[in-house]
Copies of this chain bind each other. A is one copy, B any other.
Amino acid sequence: MNRTRAWEILKAHGYKKTDKRELILSMFEETDKYLTARDLLEVLKKDYPGMSYDTIYRNLATFVELGILEETEFNGERNFRMHCEIDHHHHHFICMECGNVKEVSLCPIEKLEAMLPGYTIESHKFEIYGKCPQCNG
């Protein structure tokens, strides 16, 4: 996902183009790491000192709802990142040192479905945490 595509989606749903949204999207575009609301505010405050958490959270919710961002939760905080381009189902290795993210295609959810008759699987979370090669030194 990139900013251009994001704006197509936003427009298609009747959302207006604003500088704040543009800035938020550009922050996500230039990193593959997960960001928190706090991360965003910290940076946006430089350009917009009056920037409100309400604006951040409301837009994050919109972006997730429209599939522009993906969301997860670790270290007791909500984390967001640009939704992956990759079309096939996959998961992420997340470096707890630098935040870098690596795609992981292994997922046993289909096998699992067969092993749980009577159960309805609505969602699943498979996340791997550790240190990436750079941080391992």
Question: What's the number of copies of this chain in the assembled complex?
Answer: 2
Number of A interface residues at 8 Å Cβ cutoff, please give it: 33
CB distance from A100 to the nearest CB of B (A): 10
CB distance from A111 to the nearest CB of B (A): 6
Neighbour of A122 across the interface among B76, B112, B130, CB < 8 A: B130
Please measure, in the bound complex, the distance between the C-alpha atom of A121 and the C-alpha atom of B131, giving whole angstroms.
7
Say yes or no: A127-B130 contact (C-beta < 8 A), given A102-B116, A106-B108, A107-B108.
no
What 0/1 pattern do residues 66 to 77 of A give for CB contact below 8 A with B? 000000011010
CB <8 Å contact, B118 and A133: yes
Which A residues fall within an 8 A CB radius of B?
A: 73-74, 76, 78, 93, 96, 102, 104, 106-109, 111-112, 115-116, 118-133, 136
Q: Return the chain B residue nearest A124 by Cβ.
A: B128
Q: With A104-B112, A125-B125 given, can you name 15 additional A-B contacts, CB distance below 8 Å? A: A102-B116, A104-B115, A106-B115, A108-B108, A112-B128, A116-B128, A118-B132, A119-B130, A119-B131, A120-B136, A121-B129, A122-B129, A123-B129, A125-B126, A126-B126
Say yes or no: A130-B123 contact (C-beta < 8 A), given A93-B116, A115-B106.
yes
CB distance from A97 to the nearest CB of B (A): 10
**Most B-side CB within 10 Å, residue of A73, A111, A128, A129:** A128
